[in-house]
Amino acid sequence: MSVLALEIGWGWMLAFKALVILLIVPLGALVLGYTFLLKMMSHMQSRLGPMDPGGFHGWFQLVGDGLKFLQKEDIIPEDADRRVFAFAPVIVVISTFLMFVVIPIGPVAVVANLDVGVFYALAVSSLSVIGVLMAGWSSANKFALMGALRAAGQLIAYELPLLLAVVGVVMQAGTMSLQGIVSAQQNGSIFGWSGIGNPFIFTQIIGFLLFMIAAQAELSQTPFDMPVAESELVAGYMVEYSGFRFLFFFIGEFGTATAFAALAATLFLGGWSLPGVHGLSAELLGPLVLFVKLMGVAFLMFWVRFTYPRLREDQLQAIAWKFLIPIALANIIVTAIIKVAF
Amino acid sequence: MSSTEQPVTPTNDSPDFKAVPDFEVAPGMQRHLADARVNVELDTGDMIINLGPQHPATHGTLRLVVRLDGERVIAADPVIGYMHRGYEKLTEFRTYPQVTTLINRIDWLSSFANEVPFVHAAEQLMEIEAPPRAQYIRTALTELSRIATFLLFLGEMGLQVGALTPAFYGFRDREHVLNLIESATGGRFHPNFNRIGGLKDDLPWGWIAETRNVMKIVLDACDVFEDLVLGNEIFQARTRSVGIIPGELGASYGVSGSNLRASGVDWDLRRDGAPYLAYPELDFEVFTHPDGDSFARYWVRLQETRESARMVLQLLDKMPSGPIMAKVARIIKVPAGESWVETENPLGQMGYYVVSKGGTGPFRVKIRSASFSNVSILPWMLRGVYVPDVVTILASLYFILGDIDR
């Protein structure tokens, strides 16, 4: 096997992959949290955000926050179901880790190139809601319970449009493997012109928009942040969590945002591929290219998050069932017709 | 147990009392209290939840005991009094100039507007009147505090329905107005600037030019809020036909101010009440909205912010010269008598009933504050709405806890 065109043994390879997966989630959470939550939101709101920690524009702030959380007392409410309460944040973070397994960052640099990559990524992303339900239920807190049940209702409503939005891409690429989808975009052509390949955002723009809306709901970000709605439920299912367990939720939240942004970049923007870059340079540049695309997608997500008000739970269900799912189905039909016709 | 012993009704303290009915637990399994409590609540169908006294939606220490069926409110009961400071009683032990310090803290967002009716009541009893320039400056500062209060509302309402950014815009633009109030009075929040018979000081140099600039900022801010919040589809979906107050019902509950005008009742004390300050000489419009929902309340306050900015500009144009204090004795003694003065404050109708027995301090003061009456309609409004709507309604009614509890 090779990574970055170096021949190494499978044992080293395994260790390397494990290290990448273990690092990428906290790192992604840090980068997105710092760039968007701390700096972009601050500048949108005519503030500077943290400026001192670390010397340059407060880049160390989140690391410091993380270290602070680790020092905090581990508080478990008296009436809580202790084992479930303690285990819930772990499940949320695990689902984030699992998502990164199939996301390719280069021609060969992928932990596991599964044949059902997309299907797997979306399936494991839904695992986190089990953690959320466990957290809300075991906290013995009414606010937490309501938040958890809202999260569950949201998942049922939004898993369907999320999957249906991706079906168009899968049909066009002819494969569910993420590497296959990337190479289909890299080697494709737009009306015979193959200068930039064929990023599916052009043909699947409806699918892209649906995917982004549904991902926003999946991540419980505004306008779909009812599970944590801070003006109603204080912090929803997280209300009883503090210290490093809260840190787990935080990493889970932003790590999953990273994963979804990477997934959207892979499905619709060509992933790690850059027009005209092949071979070794593609392997070296791949992670960087994916990172830039991912940040672009994440910018859209967080722009919406910091601008829009929050919908009500019943309005969210209405949008999902009456609006998104019919459009997604129509999109699939149109894609199928075009695929067969041309 | 002997047969003569009476069966004791189990209380909370007795070991016989079981808050949770028993159900079968498999041997070896530990039953968790969390499971049991939740079970009971799901069985009975509704759950009682305390919104507040510490809750982000209650702007302080309002407590709402809400009975919920899932997400739907069956009944809601506001519990007030967590901030009661006994101002009505405290005024009886203060001299008239000292009382203004207290009443600054009733509605702390628009302190200057609070002072005006009380000072007027005292002036009425003493049969003096502040000189025209003092009246104009009072009017300008009252309108500025109205703008400051409403700018905060325009942002805060966005925050309560989930949008983070408008709140910061509201705070940012309000700061300009507070700077004006501070430069004129010396106090950002609690000016304590009114004296019986006039004002403490004249306006500082350059204040009028600076105010003109800030009014431009305010008008721009109103446009921003119109685009960012009022025009937003999600905001409209969240506020339209949520928390409707029918005009007549609102009036019978004592709801006043913008809340009542949003229900289509064309009633503004600046225009319709006994003439006070410089309002009779101003040309201004009173806005009403037929719907009476949360959206209408936001819309009315947005228009009133604009109108207030225009009124301030008018006042600056017409500002007369002259003294700012009437001739008043050094030690103020108010002749015996009673007077009632009500004004249109940012939150609604604010009135003081002052009874004097001829001393240096009032004998009795009754304070009619707007928020107290405004929240009295909450139990009626909150029946049957969803939990997120509770927050929308609380935010759109716009009360200040100091104004409720006094």
- The partner residue sitting opposite A140, judged by closest CB among B37, B169, B389, is B37
A153: left (phi over 0), alpha (psi -120 to 50) or beta: alpha
Q: How far apart are CA B63 and CA A173, in angstroms?
A: 57
Chain A positions in Cβ-Cβ contact with residue B172 (cut-off 8 Å): 46
CA dihedral B249, B291, B282, B100 (to 10 degrees): 50
For residue A78, the number of C-alpha atoms closer than 13 Å in the C-beta half-sphere is 0
Spans of all domains in chain A: 76-341
Contact A309 B391 (CB under 8 A): no
Which pairs count as long-range contacts for A87-91, CB under 8 Å and 24+ apart, including other chains? A87/A134, A88/A131, A88/A132, A88/A134, A88/A135, A88/A138, A89/A131, A89/A135, A89/A241, A89/A245, A89/A246, A89/A248, A89/A249, A89/A252, A90/A131, A90/A248, A91/A127, A91/A128, A91/A130, A91/A131, A91/A134
Residue A4: pLDDT band by 50, 70, 90 thresholds? low
Query: What token pair was written down for A89?
Result: 């944040």
Q: What is the pLDDT of residue B301?
A: 92
CB contact under 8 A, B164 and A142: no
Strands A6-7 and A2-3: antiparallel
Residue A295 to chain B, least CA–CA distance (Å): 21
Residues 6+ apart with CB under 8 A from B225: B154, B155, B166, B169, B170, B302
Q: Are residues A231 and B34, on separate chains, in Cβ contact within 8 Å?
A: no
Strand (E) or helix (H) holding B194: strand B194-195
Specify the range with the lowest mean pLDDT, choosing from A256-260, B8-12, B74-78, B383-387.
B8-12
The radius of gyration of chain B from alpha carbons, rounded to an integer in Å, stands at 25
pLDDT in tens, A132-184: 889 988 888 888 888 888 888 888 888 888 888 898 888 888 888 888 888 88
Q: What are A266-323's pLDDT values in tens digits?
A: 888 888 887 777 777 777 787 888 889 999 999 999 998 888 888 888 888 888 888 8
Residue in A closest to B230 by C-alpha: A309
Name the pTM for this structure: 0.82
- B282-286: which pairs have CB atoms within 8 A and are 24 or more residues apart? B282/B139, B282/B311, B282/B314, B282/B315, B283/B314, B284/B310, B284/B311, B284/B314, B286/B261
> CB pairs below 8 Å between A and B: how many?
98
CA angle A322, A323, A324 (to 5 degrees): 115
Specify which of A113-127, A226-240, B286-300 reaches the highest per-range mean pLDDT: B286-300
A-chain residues near B33 (CB < 8 A): 79, 140
Residue A334 tokens read as 């149109």
| Domain range for B301 | 92-356
Q: Find the DSSP H helices in B194-293.
A: 207-225, 233-239, 247-253, 258-261, 269-272
Work out the minimum CA distance from A309 to partner chain B, whole angstroms.
4
Question: Which stretches of B282-406 are assigned E, i.e. beta strand?
Answer: 337-345, 348-356, 364-368
Name the percent of chain A in helix, strand, coil, to the closest 5.
70, 0, 30
Distances in Å between the Cα of B307 and the Cα atoms of A166, B218, B342 are 51, 11, 21
Q: Lowest mean pLDDT: which of A238-252, B20-34, B100-114, B230-244? A: B20-34
A164 touches chain B (CB under 8 A): no
Mean pLDDT within B294-315: 91
- What pLDDT score was predicted for residue B1? 41
CA dihedral B217, B220, B221, B224 (to 10 degrees): -160
How many whole angstroms separate alpha carbon A267 and alpha carbon A173? 10
- Residue B198 CA to residue B184 CA, distance in Å, equals 14
Candidates B77, B38, B80, B47; CA nearest to B62 is B80
Q: How far is B214 from chain A (nearest CA, A)?
A: 18
Kindly determine whether residue A139 and residue B34, on different chains, have CB atoms separated by under 8 Å.
yes
3-state secondary structure B13-57: CCCCCCCCCCCCCCCCCCCCHHHHHHHHHHHHCCEEEEECCCEHH
Chain A residues touching residue B238 (CB < 8 angstroms): 309-312, 315
**Number of domains observed in the structure of chain B:** 1
Cα separations in angstroms, A65 against A55, A92, A218: 16, 20, 25
Question: 3-class DSSP state for residue B350?
Answer: strand
- The model's pLDDT over A9-42, given as tens digits with 9 standing for 90+, comes to 777 777 877 787 788 888 888 888 888 888 888 8
Interval B189-201 mean pLDDT: 87
The CATH number of the domain holding residue B293 is 1.10.645.10
CA torsion angle A45 A51 A57 A60 (round to 10): -110
From the list A150, A124, A108, the residue with the least C-alpha distance to A283 is A108
SS3 B365: strand
Tell me the CA distances in angstroms from A295 to A36, A271, B28, one per residue in order. 10, 12, 51
Reported as a pLDDT band with limits 50, 70 and 90, residue B305 is very high
pLDDT-based confidence at residue B201 (cuts at 50, 70, 90)? confident
Q: How far is A311 from chain B (nearest CA, A)?
A: 6
Tell me the percentage of chain B whose pLDDT exceeds 70: 89
Q: How far is A267 from chain B (nearest CA, A)?
A: 29
B128 part of contact set with chain A, CB < 8 Å: no
Q: Judge whether B203 is closer than 8 Å to chain A, CB to CB.
A: no
- Report residue B22's pLDDT band, with 50, 70 and 90 as the boundaries: very low
Contacts of B41 in chain A (CB under 8 A): 142
Task: State which amino acid sits at residue B174.
Answer: R
Quick: pLDDT tens for A77-136. Answer: 888 888 888 888 999 888 888 888 888 887 777 777 788 888 898 888 888 888 888 998
**pLDDT in the model for residue B29:** 45
